[in-house]
Amino acid sequence: MIVSPLWRGKSYAVLGLARSGAASVRALLAGGARVVAWDSDAAKRDAIAPPLQGRGWGGAVLDANAAPAADIPTPNPSPEGEGLLTLADPLEIDLAGFDSLVVSPGVPLNRHPVAAKARAAGVPIIGDIELFAQARASLPPHKVVGITGTNGKSTTTALVHHILQTAGIPSLMGGNIGLPILEQDPLPASGVYVLELSSYQIDLTHSLDCDVAVLLNLTPDHLDRYDGFEGYAASKARLFAMQSATHAAVIGIGDTPSALIARGLSARGEHLTKIAPGVCMDQSRWPSLQGPHNAQNALAAIAACQALGVPEAMIDRGLESFAGLPHRMERVAVRNGVAFVNDSKATNPESTAPALAAFSRVHWILGGKAKADDLDACAPSFGHVVKAYTIGEAAQRFAAILDGKVPVEVSGDLATAVAHAAAAAQPGDTVLLSPACASFDQFRDFEDRGDQFRVAVEALA
């Protein structure tokens, strides 16, 4: 676990006890902090403090330095240096005197009343990545790579981590992917922390000076959390504002907003690498990095690893051996010459477009809870679509958009779409789940949707 001596004896309120929030609580307690934690989900509250189950607020306190079953029935602050946990809703207590409010990235700061309450009390609002940034000074010498963008973050983060591992360089992957970074054991000296960073996580971070910062692209997303697209882009740009000027910046300039951010950093000279669109590359040796979008992801990963001093031979070896990530253009089966590809992570049209471009004959399964009113980003590759099969909440709307452009069927649910696509596909075709939508209308999350796709493929006669 990663902890900081700076937290000892300080007081923190933590709102949201999913993975990153729970990890923040455990790390702060291990560092000797006094923590008030809350989640609207009682099961999450019970999971973070088992001895408090059924006792509610009531002043029950868990002593992090004592046996698991111990509790101290007093609401008084803990003695200096003793990590103590109390369950209480930050909206119901006085926040004055707290050192920080730690919120999970899923808490919408533009709408949640706790944000205004914390600001009125003069309490900084931070997240687990800022806690990691605070802990860096006490860790063995290391470097940090921060990777953001609308699309491609997970693949690029995993690819950089894989190349480092291939080169024998100690590395950890965290942030918006895998285990929360605070939950993991610190790296030895000369290690590299590779962090996927969403705009929400960047919003909650104030002092993360990445040795290498990467922006892949910017397209409209999460606009319900920002004052327009400009606010979203400004959030991403903060990753570079937190950097030392001599640290490396890698920016894809295939869209105007990203190119403008790169232009603003032009004074960095050799410390700025621009990734231009449409660079011709031989991707034949990289089986899990197909399509033009993965060419861009690979170029960004190469530039990041070069900035870290990874030998070129090790970079090449890592690109060749990279296995890819589940739910991101993942080939789950080949049946009778037909490939079945799970791209469930594509939750908006911009992230689906590269998958359509990567295959020449596609039976396209799309739909769900729409984030956009159109499929314009996918239109350049409509010529690759043999037939589309729409599902979920957006099924009728997307079928209407596609009518007259590609053959389309309203399948309704995923199992029906897979069965009909498989029956129509010919050897050499690809049945592609790339929904261009969120999953929450019919599935728990995009992973569940991808898993159900695999189940449907395995059930084919």
In the set 153, 247, 384, 387, the catalytic residue is 153
Across the range 171-180, mean pLDDT stands at: 94
User: Residues 297, 301, 304, 308: what is their CA dihedral angle, to the nearest 10 degrees?
Assistant: 180
Question: Chain-wide mean pLDDT for the chain?
Answer: 90
Predicted pLDDT of residue 110:
86
Residue 190 domain-assigned (yes or no) = yes
Residue 222 annotated among the catalytic residues of the structure: yes
Q: State the Cα–Cα distance between residues 241 and 233, nearest whole angstrom.
A: 13
The domain containing residue 67 runs over which residues? 5-126
**228, pLDDT greater than 70:** yes
Condensed to tens digits (0 to 9), the pLDDT of residues 189-205 reads 999 999 999 999 999 99
Condensed to tens digits (0 to 9), the pLDDT of residues 243-286 reads 999 999 999 999 999 999 999 999 999 999 999 987 778 888 99
First to last CA, the chain: 48
**Are 67 and 215 members of one domain?**
no
Residues, the chain = 461
Residue 57 domain-assigned (yes or no) = yes
User: Strand 272-275 and strand 248-252: pairing?
Assistant: parallel
At residue 293 the predicted structure's pLDDT band, cuts being 50, 70 and 90, is: confident
Residue 112 annotated among the catalytic residues of the structure: no
At residue 82 the predicted structure's pLDDT band, cuts being 50, 70 and 90, is: low
**Are 309 and 427 members of one domain?**
no
At residue 233 the predicted structure's pLDDT band, cuts being 50, 70 and 90, is: very high
Predicted pLDDT of residue 377:
94
Q: State the Cα–Cα distance between residues 376 and 385, nearest whole angstrom.
A: 14
Whole-angstrom CA distances from 413 to 59, 371, 409, 430 are 49, 18, 11, 19
In the set 142, 143, 161, 176, the catalytic residue is 176
**Are 56 and 163 members of one domain?**
no
**61, pLDDT greater than 80:** no
**Are 338 and 317 members of one domain?**
no
User: Residues 52, 56, 58, 62: what is their CA dihedral angle, to the nearest 10 degrees?
Assistant: 20
**344, pLDDT greater than 80:** yes
Q: State the Cα–Cα distance between residues 371 and 348, nearest whole angstrom.
A: 6
Residue 133 domain-assigned (yes or no) = no
**58, pLDDT greater than 80:** no
**Are 309 and 350 members of one domain?**
no
Predicted pLDDT of residue 53:
35
Contacts of 362 (CB under 8 A, 6+ apart): 356, 384, 385, 386, 429, 430, 431, 432
Residue 131 domain-assigned (yes or no) = no
Residue 361 domain-assigned (yes or no) = yes
Predicted pLDDT of residue 323:
84
Spatial CA neighbour of 365 closest among 332, 423, 412: 412
Condensed to tens digits (0 to 9), the pLDDT of residues 372-421 reads 899 999 999 999 999 999 999 999 999 999 999 999 999 999 999 999 99
Residue 294 annotated among the catalytic residues of the structure: no
**Are 193 and 292 members of one domain?**
yes
Spatial CA neighbour of 243 closest among 216, 221, 272: 272
> How many alpha carbons lie under 13 Å from residue 385 in its C-beta half-sphere?
28
Predicted pLDDT of residue 50:
60
**71, pLDDT greater than 60:** no
Out of 321, 346, 376, pick the residue that ends a domain.
321
Predicted pLDDT of residue 81:
42
**Are 95 and 156 members of one domain?**
no
Q: How many domains does the chain have?
A: 3
**106, pLDDT greater than 90:** no
Residue 68's region, left for phi above 0, alpha for psi from -120 to 50, else beta, is alpha
What CATH number does the domain containing 397 carry? 3.90.190.20
Alpha helices for 167-291 (secondary structure H): 199-203, 228-241, 256-264
Q: State the Cα–Cα distance between residues 134 and 125, nearest whole angstrom.
A: 14
Predicted pLDDT of residue 284:
86
Across the range 29-51, mean pLDDT stands at: 88
In the set 222, 369, 405, 420, the catalytic residue is 222
Phi, psi at residue 369, to the nearest 5°? -90, 105
Residue 260 domain-assigned (yes or no) = yes
What CATH number does the domain containing 194 carry? 3.40.1190.10
Predicted pLDDT of residue 122:
96
**Are 153 and 174 members of one domain?**
yes
Out of 276, 292, 321, pick the residue that ends a domain.
321
At residue 290 the predicted structure's pLDDT band, cuts being 50, 70 and 90, is: confident
Out of 300, 321, 342, pick the residue that ends a domain.
321
Single-letter amino acid, residue 323: A
